[in-house]
Amino acid sequence: MKENVNITLIINPGSGVPIYRQIVEQVTRQVLSSRLKEGMIMPSVRSVASEFQINPMTVSKAYNLLEERNILERVRGVGMRILKKEDNRGDNSEKLNMIRPSIKEIVIAAGQLKISKQELKNEIDKSWEINNG
Amino acid sequence: MKENVNITLIINPGSGVPIYRQIVEQVTRQVLSSRLKEGMIMPSVRSVASEFQINPMTVSKAYNLLEERNILERVRGVGMRILKKEDNRGDNSEKLNMIRPSIKEIVIAAGQLKISKQELKNEIDKSWEINNG
DNA sequence: CGTAGTGTATTATATTAGTAATACACTAAT
DNA sequence: ATTAGTGTATTACTAATATAATACACTACG
């Protein structure tokens, strides 16, 4: 009955961003973008911990946060089941909500720096080419 | 001989962003955008500290970082003098360097969320209208 | 049943970042 | 020299993060 899942995590312990938050963010993105689908069972705390050489309790902390956000569901004795559906409301509102705070920060910073909106968009084009091209 | 300066700082102690970094970022932006000009003397550590109800050492730490980045100059017994000129190289490269890391983060997040480049730009337009319009 | 697999509560330790309180050294102006 | 104004070195405290070692409760499966 196990629907195991191949999850791709990129953990960078020296990035300054706490490991548990890296897990939370990446799992959330993958759920919202349908790479992880409802009903799938997440890899176990211990397997993630050993794969990335981190402590099981750190993974557990991340899973716990994901449960609080109604993205995972704890199934006793089984594991964590993916609970939340992808963002199918047509307007992508849920996915957009994830990046809006960061967008606001950049827009304010650009304004204070007297960087024009067009310049900002040009930079995004360049970065998109490099990172998503 | 004091060329004091009216600096506008917006400090939010409960934002999660360390206070000293808020100071560093805002002063840097104001210098690069010519709101603060070379030769001006920054308000003293103690005056900033009392105005925002924070510790003088927190302000000092920020000023110290700004000195390391060649934006301020320490003048013993006087205060911190603004050292760096605005970014006048025509290409805005210095100002752009300040926001490029944040742009990269957003672009990667949008990619993982399967948000299109056009959607991202639309969000920027909206946010620009609200925050810089 | 027993075994192996889930997540987790508990307690403890170590490290780091951020903030705070005090005392000090320096300069400017009188 | 004295006073009042600079910044800062030192030390300490707090909180967040990560790790670690146990022990526990539950489920799946033979």
pTM for this predicted structure? 0.85
For chain B, list residues whose CB is within 8 angstroms of any CB belonging to chain A: 25-26, 29-30, 32-34, 92, 95-96, 98-100, 102-115, 117, 119-121, 123-125, 127-128, 131-132
**A62 CA to D18 C1' distance (Å):** 13
Write out the E strands in B1-133: 72-75, 79-82
Upper half-sphere CA count for residue B110 (Cβ side, 13 Å) = 30
Flag residues of chain A having pLDDT under 50: 1-2
Q: Which residues, other chains included, contact B63 with Cβ-Cβ below 8 Å and sequence gap of 6+?
A: B23, B42, B45, B72, B74, B80
Residue B133 pLDDT exceeds 80: yes
pLDDT at position A2 is 46
DSSP structure string for A30-85: HHHTTSS-TTPBPPPHHHHHHHTT--HHHHHHHHHHHHHTTSEEEETTTEEEE-PP
The per-residue pLDDT for range B24-37, each reduced to its tens digit, is: 999 999 999 999 99
pLDDT at position A89 is 75
- The rounded mean pLDDT for chain B is 91
pLDDT at position B132 is 94
Q: Please give the Cα distance from B37 to B55 (Å, whole number).
A: 26
Smallest Cβ–Cβ distance between A115 and the set B96, B108, B115 belongs to: B96
pLDDT at position A7 is 74
Q: Is the CB of B45 under 7 A from strand D?
A: yes
Q: Minimal Cα–Cα distance from B79 to chain A, Å?
A: 25
Residue B5 pLDDT exceeds 50: yes
Q: At what angle do helices A19-32 and A93-112 cross, to 10 degrees?
A: 120
pLDDT at position A72 is 96
Banded model confidence at residue B109, pLDDT cuts 50, 70, 90? very high
